[in-house]
Structure 1
Amino acid sequence: MAEPSPLALRDARLFGFFHFVFARFFRRHMGALRMPPWGFPQDAGDRPLIVLANHPSWWDGVAFMLLPVRLLPHRHIFIPMEAAALAKYPFMRRLGVFGIEPGPRGAVAFLRTAKAVLASPGTMLWMNAPGRFQDVRERPVAIAPGVSRLPEIAPDAIVLPLALDYVFWTERRPDMLAAFGPPLPAAELLALDREAREERIREALTGTMDRLTAEALTRDPARFTVVAEGAEGMGGIYDLWRHVAALARGRRFNPRHAHGTKSG
């Protein structure tokens, strides 16, 4: 029996609830979600949209829940995931996640499902281009089998590279960094053979990752826009003592370790 289409399974209200849950989880464990001004996505209009991200961390799944709602709220996100992993979290099928089986038959099924998703108005496909976890410093950036075929099933689509990174600067909690690269029209990719097409996608994603790394190395939050706020300071008795001490001196309490680093 064929698996129901992710278009039929997706539940917008359930997605909204889990977005709230993931956002709350983010606020408890991360400092901020930051993006450089050049890294915001360009509007693709009503054309199909394919977002191809690197895959450095477990936190990428949280990024996939936060970024679309804040930056592309008029579209519904669909995400492929390894079928064995998805089996552990069946509720995610109601969020637009669909399974991918290994092997050639799985690749064919993935492309068929992706084609149906991208043909539906107001949708977008997000996926980790490497198909596996890969450190941001590893080169070359991996491109999973089937990624280079996506322009064939959606020749009118816009492909957006997305770089993700996670950094510890001066605070206890890490920051999530994200940046989109320049759009790649699928029609331009189709003009290349599959090998050259894969290399063009790798080049675009690598370039975006390298540019985000250069921003991260400055360790300057002022170079970024805060897209989502997280927790600040140490918390608990230590911050309570600091708060009282600040009030005693007639100063405003700043829970951050490095003063003046909050941007927005």
Structure 2
Amino acid sequence: MGGLAARLPLDRRPTARRNPALVRFFVFYFRRFFVRHMNAMRLARWGRLGLTAGEGPVVVYSNHPAWWDGAVYVLGADTFLPHHESYAPIDAAMMAKYGFFGRIGAYGVDLESAAGAAHFLAASADILSKPNRAIWLAAQGRFSDVRERPVGLKAGIARLPELNPDALFVPLAIEYGFWEERGGEAFLAFGAPIRGADLLALDRPARRTRLEAALTGTLDHLSEDVRSRDPARFETVLSGEAGVGGIYDTWKRLRARARGERFDPSHGGRP
């Protein structure tokens, strides 16, 4: 593991480039952005991530349904793994265009070339060399509908257990939908962690099959809860701005004041 990471010059290692102050700024930015444009981030009650500060390193691998996934990673890392340094691979072309992403834990990936795959493994080895670190990985490597089966994980994820057998692999299901409010809902659920050592007992194709099965099961369970439209099945992690705004909300506010009631901009009442 150390040999792989050593292949990278120090200034190209994700752990050397990450700037904690800039990470905090982007958490603040994305939180404000999320609450302005979405109604809520909800976590399935059965899908909590029960890891402690000393457990890890961690590989959180998810499906990739929408543009919002990047914001979910930033906010999810701060909320669910606050004691871990979090990193995420992104497309190498995007990384070249927006180099400052490296200051918040991103590292470029080009899995279509042998050199790109080698760089991904070396950078990931650098990250997974310490227990207080985490990688958030869009493991399909492309945008994909949440209902697509098989989920089709990229082959590279099966190599990661070789970098550190102590790593924990955690499936994360992500789904978006609209309920009663103007803004969308982001639904999340974590599956049970899988030990890297257990994955190493399998050959690479079998590892990928097991990781896919764990993510598929988590996705299917989450979709059942989303279809129920029952907010009681979820914990609200982050609440956005409810209501329509403009004349409609002004009229509702005045009516509530005339009745001596508290104004609630949401359509059906906050759960």
| Shorter-chain TM-score range | over 0.9
Whether 1:107 and 2:144 are equivalent positions in the alignment is no
Query: Among 23, 34, 44, which residue is 1:26 paired with?
Result: 34
Q: Equivalents in 2 of 1:251, 1:216: separation in Å?
A: 31
Per-residue deviation, residues 92-117 of structure 1 (Å, max 9, x unmatched)? 11001000123122111111110110
Q: Residue 80 of structure 2 corresponds to which residue in structure 1?
A: 71
CA distance change for structure 1 residues 162 and 84 in 2, over 3 Å: closer, same or farther? Answer: same
> Hey, what does 1:59 align to over in structure 2?
68
- Output the amino acid matched with 1:148: A
TM-score (norm: length of structure 2): 0.93
Q: Match of 1:11, as an amino acid? A: N
Aligned mates of 2:95, 2:213 — CA distance in 1: 30
Residue of 236, 246, 250 corresponding to 1:226: 236
Structure 2 equivalent of residue 82 of structure 1: 91
SS in 2 for 1:213: helix
Aligned-partner Cα distance in 1 for 2:221–2:183: 23
Question: What is the aligned-residue RMSD (CA, Å)?
Answer: 1.3
Secondary structure of 1:161's partner?
strand
Q: Does 1:151 align with 2:161?
A: yes
Question: 1:54 is aligned with what amino acid?
Answer: N
* Structure 1 runs of 4+ with >6 Å offset: none
Match of 2:175 among 157, 165, 170: 165
The match for 1:36 among 30, 37, 44 is: 44
Q: Which residue of 2 aligns with 1:116?
A: 126
Tell whether 2:205 aligns with 1:200.
no
Give me the whole-angstrom Cα distance separating, in 1, the residues matched to 2:234 and 2:133: 28
Identical pairs, percent: 46
**CA deviation after TM superposition for structure 1 residue 91, in Å:** 1.4
By how many angstroms is 1:241 displaced? Answer: 1.2
Q: Counterparts of 1:121 and 1:211 in 2: how far apart (Å)?
A: 29
How far does the alpha carbon of each residue in 1:24-59 deviate from its partner, in whole angstroms, 9 at most, with x for none? 000100001000111111215332111001100000
Whichever residue aligns with residue 76 of structure 2, its letter is L
> Equivalents in 1 of 2:96, 2:240: separation in Å?
30
Q: What is the CA-CA distance between 1:90 and the residue it aligns to?
A: 1.6
User: How many angstroms apart in 1 are the aligned matches of 2:232 and 2:155?
Assistant: 38
Q: 1:121: Cα distance to partner?
A: 3.9
- Contact 1:151–1:190 under 8 Å retained in 2: yes
CA distance in 1, matches of 2:122, 2:99: 21
The equivalent of 2:5 in structure 1 is none
* Distance change (3 Å), C-alpha of 1:121 and 1:157: closer
* Corresponding residue SS for 1:226: strand
Q: Which residue in 2 is equivalent to 1:191?
A: 201
Contact in 1 for aligned 2:60/2:172 (Cα 8 Å): yes
Looking at structure 1, the residues matched to 193 and 131 of structure 2 have their Cα atoms a distance apart, in angstroms, of 19
- The amino acid that maps onto 1:33 is M
Runs of 5+ consecutive residues of structure 2 not aligned to the other structure: 1-7
| Contact 1:42/1:183 (8 A) holds in 2 | no
